Amino acid sequence: MSPLTILYQDQHYVAIDKPAGMLVHRTRIAEEAEYAMQRLRDQLGQHVFVVHRLDRPTSGVLLFALSSEAARAMCEVFESRQVEKRYLAVVRGWTEEAGVIDYALREEKHKEAQHAVTAWRRLATVELDIAVGRYPKARYSLIEALPETGRMHQIRKHFAHIFHPLIGDTTYGEGRHNRLFRDHFAIERLLLMATELSFVHPYSNEPVTLRAPLPTEVTVLFARLGWE
């Protein structure tokens, strides 16, 4: 088993490049699955504490604390929205050049909807000579998303709400487009990557920016789509 890629480490925090398909921590739904918290604990030989989360199918920057005190300090930074998160995603269709999605989301059906905002901009587009449904060609956009809040599945739900679902999203996406990427590009993952996390360090008060490189299969895909 290869070690997790460590992007940043000091005496208080450690950040990894979480692979797609890996849970952040054990859940009742998938107790037997491999998860990042245990892998990192075993790799470092010490306890680690969850600061924030990424969806299981999302890859990229994931930050942990090395003590409960450091975890509390960083959670306060997240809760006060003094963190900037950047994601790259591939979505169905050609989006507008930029926008803000302000649409409240429910984490569970019986709970009240919570305020949720995602700013975004389009970076590139592509049109493929592949028929999907009644359309002779398929169009896709590469977008950068900057969620201002941190609701469950926020980016995935928000882009589905504006009719540009993420490619590879088996919950909120569209199966025909997911199959196109599987069949033509061998992409079997959600195309959502947490590429950057910026914050002011709670102990040093210095700005910190953590970046994760794109996974190999994503860089290969982007090259094939002309998004180099």
Q: Write down the pLDDT at residue 28.
A: 62
With cut-offs at 50, 70 and 90, classify the pLDDT of residue 81.
Answer: confident
The label of the residue with tokens 């090395």 reads 66
Q: Which amino acid is at 193?
A: M
Determine what percent of the chain falls in helix, strand and coil, rounding each to the nearest 5: 20, 35, 45
Q: Write down the pLDDT at residue 39.
A: 94
Rounded mean pLDDT, 75-82? 89
Averaged confidence pLDDT in the chain: 94
Q: Write down the pLDDT at residue 178.
A: 97
State both tokens at 118.
């995602």
Q: Write down the pLDDT at residue 218.
A: 98
How many structural domains does the chain have? 1
Rounded mean pLDDT, 82-86? 94
State both tokens at 201.
């360090």
The predicted-structure confidence for 134-156, as pLDDT tens digits, reads as follows 889 999 999 999 999 989 999 99
The predicted-structure confidence for 166-224, as pLDDT tens digits, reads as follows 999 999 999 999 999 999 999 999 999 999 999 999 999 999 999 999 999 999 999 99
Are the CB atoms for 6 and 15 separated by under 8 Å?
A: yes
Nearest partner of 60 among 201, 187, 223, 214, judged by Cα = 214
Q: Write down the pLDDT at residue 168.
A: 98
Rounded mean pLDDT, 59-75? 97
Q: Which amino acid is at 35?
A: Y
- Among 10, 17, 42, 55, the active-site one is 55
Q: Write down the pLDDT at residue 56.
A: 93
- Is the pLDDT assigned to residue 109 strictly greater than 80? no
pTM: 0.94
- Is the pLDDT assigned to residue 34 strictly greater than 80? no
Q: Which amino acid is at 70?
A: A
Q: Is 55 a catalytic residue?
A: yes
State both tokens at 100.
């803000």
Q: Which amino acid is at 5?
A: T
- Is the pLDDT assigned to residue 32 strictly greater than 70? no
d(CA 104, CA 154): 9
- DSSP-derived letter for residue 132 is B
Residue 52, domain extent: 5-224
**Residue 61 is part of a domain; what is its CATH number?**
3.30.2350.10
